[in-house]
């Protein structure tokens, strides 16, 4: 047993811990080496214990090594709810519904891209709006937004031609969450979302040009189109923008308004939930599906813009540059998988042989991994999603000068365009855990296995 912030933990595996149960609820299990466990703030353990006391849970609640405190539930939380007795909690899915990662391969190499990196980043920054409240290039009416949010990426490719048919096969759920219903989305959400498709947003969202630094599993890497070090890939990290945020806000209010009729006790009102069988939960899941499809479409439209920019810079068609998808995976979502409704907040699906994308800070790089059978058994097929913050954005801005960071990164071979220097400071590498430590923990726990490591050479962000 070890004691951290007054909580006692028993080690049950190489990178697995269980919190001592002094509460009524299911087991809280944390996947992390002791070093990362010690780095977690007290609020993570308080929130994790609160989540473990929700009604209708199956087996256990799981926290990933990148866990840090969030709204109600820690970012890095996974749990399952029973179809008949379970509940759905918007706060345990998150405001940025289907915030996720997309990885695009190319047949270009670093020596070909390096002379053009500033022009490439500048053009991407021009054509893909970043920052709060920015509007995208796609003009649409309410009917088209309805179709896109209900039918997802397949509808976009069929009607607008902005993507390749084969893209669909490399997106989680093939780019469409079934059961999404536009009629369950508020006018406020529609007004916020209708102009925001094809935009990156702010905060930790980014588009990054990366080079393959190391390959750990050549056979899997080759199968996915990663063939050699210095090969260029493009990583996109963004979500459902104001559309998803408003949907989460709307349903948190609705659930809280009707909480008394559910006759349940929760440890924190930010975890307000409704029975899965209730009309409130069904409407939320329908609206959440619409937000998830919005996010898939958003990343598809950004991919279209990326391909167009690469074509302009390198004078070849995107097909000739072999700019296919490796994968697109969500990390803030609630989804039926088998008999259970899986809540993943700041956690990534990790099914056997599926690509897993874990983004690091803009200074340190990112990883491509492969899902495992062990993850299905241990964590409802889930793994980590990123580095995980170690300090607030406000504190990062106090100790980091954005302009100095920009200069330092440029000198280190990373060219960045950002909506503001303060936004850049918020995302400094020191504000995050060491990505290598996070990956080591999930590797030791068997939740996913490293395939390749990428280093950034160009970045645009909000």
Sort strands 325-330 and 274-275 into parallel, antiparallel or unpaired: unpaired
Tokens of 31: 């996947």
SS3 405: helix
* Cβ-contact 62, 17 below 8 angstroms: no
Based on C-alpha coordinates, what's the Rg of the chain? 21
pLDDT in tens, 21-67: 999 999 999 999 999 999 999 999 999 999 999 999 999 999 999 99
pLDDT of the residue at 173: 98
- Is 385 noted as a catalytic residue in this protein? yes
Q: How far apart are CA 264 and CA 287, in angstroms?
A: 24
Beta-carbon contacts of residue 68 (< 8 Å; ≥ 6 apart): 40, 41, 44, 74, 75, 76, 388, 389, 390
Choose, from 205, 237, 331, 385, the residue flagged as catalytic: 385
pLDDT of the residue at 181: 98
pLDDT in tens, 154-207: 999 999 999 999 999 999 999 999 999 999 999 999 999 999 999 998 888 999
Q: How far apart are CA 228 and CA 63, in angstroms?
A: 34
- In sign, the C-alpha dihedral spanning 184, 189, 190, 196 is negative
Residue 159: CB atoms within 10 A of its CB come to 12
Burial degree of 402 (CB within 10 A; 0-12, 13-18, 19+): buried
Q: How far apart are CA 24 and CA 76, in angstroms?
A: 22
Query: Residue holding tokens 């490719």?
Result: 157
Structural domains of the chain sorted by starting position, each given as residue range(s) with its CATH number in brackets: 2-83+96-461 (3.90.1860.10)
pLDDT tens over the chain, length 462 residues:
999 999 999 999 999 999 999 999 999 999 999 999 999 999 999 999 999 999 999 999 999 999 999 999 999 999 999 999 999 999 999 999 999 999 999 999 999 999 999 999 999 999 999 977 778 888 999 999 999 999 999 999 999 999 999 999 999 999 999 999 999 999 999 999 999 999 998 888 999 999 999 999 999 999 999 999 999 999 999 999 999 999 999 999 999 999 989 989 899 999 999 999 999 999 999 999 999 999 999 999 999 999 999 999 999 999 999 999 999 999 999 999 999 999 999 999 999 999 999 999 888 899 999 999 999 999 999 999 998 887 888 888 889 898 898 899 899 999 999 988 888 888 888 888 899 999 999 999 999 999 999 999 999 997
Query: Residue holding tokens 């939930």?
Result: 273
């Amino acid at each position: 047993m070890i004691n951290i912030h007054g909580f006692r933990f028993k080690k049950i595996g190489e990178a697995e811990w269980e919190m001592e149960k002094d509460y009524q609820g299911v087991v809280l299990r944390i996947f992390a080496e002791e070093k990362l466990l010690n780095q977690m703030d007290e609020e993570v353990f308080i929130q994790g214990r609160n989540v473990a006391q929700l009604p209708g849970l199956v087996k256990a609640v799981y926290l990933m090594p990148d866990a840090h405190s969030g709204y109600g539930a820690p970012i890095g939380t996974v749990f399952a709810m029973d179809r008949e007795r379970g509940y759905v909690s918007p706060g345990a899915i998150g405001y940025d519904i289907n915030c996720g990662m997309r990885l695009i391969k190319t047949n270009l190499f670093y020596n070909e891209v390096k002379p053009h990196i500033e022009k490439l980043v500048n053009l991407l920054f021009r054509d893909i709006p970043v920052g709060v409240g920015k509007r995208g290039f796609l003009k649409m009416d309410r009917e088209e937004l309805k179709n896109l949010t209900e039918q997802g990426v397949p509808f976009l490719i069929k009607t607008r031609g902005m993507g390749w048919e084969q893209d669909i096969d490399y997106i989680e759920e093939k780019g469409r969450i079934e059961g999404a219903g536009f009629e369950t989305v508020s006018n406020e959400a529609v007004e916020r979302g209708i102009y925001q498709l094809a935009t990156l947003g702010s905060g930790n969202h980014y588009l990054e040009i990366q080079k393959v630094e190391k390959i750990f599993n050549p056979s899997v890497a080759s199968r996915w189109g990663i063939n050699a070090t210095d090969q260029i890939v493009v990583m996109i990290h963004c979500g459902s923008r104001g559309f998803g945020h408003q949907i989460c806000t709307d349903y948190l209010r609705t659930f809280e308004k009707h909480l008394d009729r559910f006759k349940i006790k929760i440890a924190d009102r930010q975890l307000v939930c409704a029975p899965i069988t209730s009309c409130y939960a069904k409407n939320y899941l329908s609206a959440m599906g619409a937000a998830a499809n919005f996010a898939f479409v958003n990343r598809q439209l950004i991919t279209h813009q990326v391909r167009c920019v690469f074509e302009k810079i390198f004078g070849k068609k995107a097909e000739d540059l072999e700019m296919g998808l490796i994968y697109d995976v969500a990390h803030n979502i609630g989804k039926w998988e088998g008999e259970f409704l899986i809540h993943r907040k700041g956690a990534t699906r990790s099914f056997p042989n599926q690509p897993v994308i874990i983004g690091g800070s803009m200074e340190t790089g990112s990883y491509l991994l492969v899902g495992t059978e062990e993850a299905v058994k241990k964590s409802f097929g889930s793994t980590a999603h990123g580095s995980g913050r170690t300090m607030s954005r406000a504190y990062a801005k106090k100790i980091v000068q954005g302009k100095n960071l920009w200069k330092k990164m440029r000198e280190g071979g990373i060219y960045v365009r950002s909506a503001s220097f303060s936004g850049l400071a918020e995302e400094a590498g020191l504000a995050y855990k060491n990505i290598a430590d996070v990956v080591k923990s999930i590797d030791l726990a068997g939740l996913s296995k490293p395939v390749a490591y990428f280093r950034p050479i160009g970045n645009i962000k909000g």
